[in-house]
Amino acid sequence: MSDSPSGPEWMDGLRWNEAGLIPAVAQDWLDGAVLMVAWMNRQALESSLRTGEVHYWSRSRQELWHKGATSGHLQKLRGLRYDCDADVLLLTIEQQGDVACHTGARSCFFAEGAGEADGMQGVELTGVELAGGPAGLPPPADVCTELARVIEGRRDRPEPGSYTNRLLEGGDNRILKKIGEESAEFVMACKDDDAAAIAGEAADLLFHMQVALAHHGVPWRQVQDVLAQRRGAPRRA
């Protein structure tokens, strides 16, 4: 392993371990999902910053590892931070092919503790090993992404008595009618300047919009991508 003496001075303040390495967490740039954790040395970090594509240090092969160079699943570096102790890096990345794990899963974190539940109080985690791959459990993400997953799950695997399924069964007529109603209620909450009501009506509106997206086969991620592309775009006149 060889370290280059060049590079930004802030790298000198990082707390490299005794082997000259630092852990790097790769996080999806759109939904915040943690995709993988690997190691970097200074050469890997400098190469990532120079090329815009993430490089790691392979401890097993003892060589620089250009992520995706063989598989095509490159990681485009969108941002980089380090924690308050300067001993962990957080990489914001755009994952090519939507596959980060060597098993073919989107994320390396596809196994969960048995009995996982909201709050986790009093839950003994025994661990559930899964095979990974394209069918691997998706990583936890932001609440809107998780909501979209639930709605798409109802669409693909209907459940008796589900409100979401009643909407989907009614098609555009029922879904769009609800969007119109929720839009009006959101407007009235804003007119009343009621923060709690505004938040509640916004949540209702967003839910019904996501039902419409699922009905038309438009992934929530596509909406996120459009919003991301508009960020930093020229201002409208």
Q: How confident is the model at residue 146 (pLDDT cuts 50, 70, 90)?
A: very high
Give the C-alpha separation, 210 to 175, whole Å: 10
pLDDT in tens, 163-188: 999 999 999 999 999 999 999 999 99
Instruction: Give all domains of the chain, ordered by start, each with its CATH number.
Output: 9-98 (3.10.20.810), 143-230 (1.10.287.1080)
pLDDT at 237: 62
pLDDT above 60 (res 3): no
Axis-axis angle for helices 163-192, 195-215 (nearest 10): 140
pTM of the model: 0.80
pLDDT above 90 (res 123): no
- Torsions phi, psi for 220 (to 5 deg): -60, -35
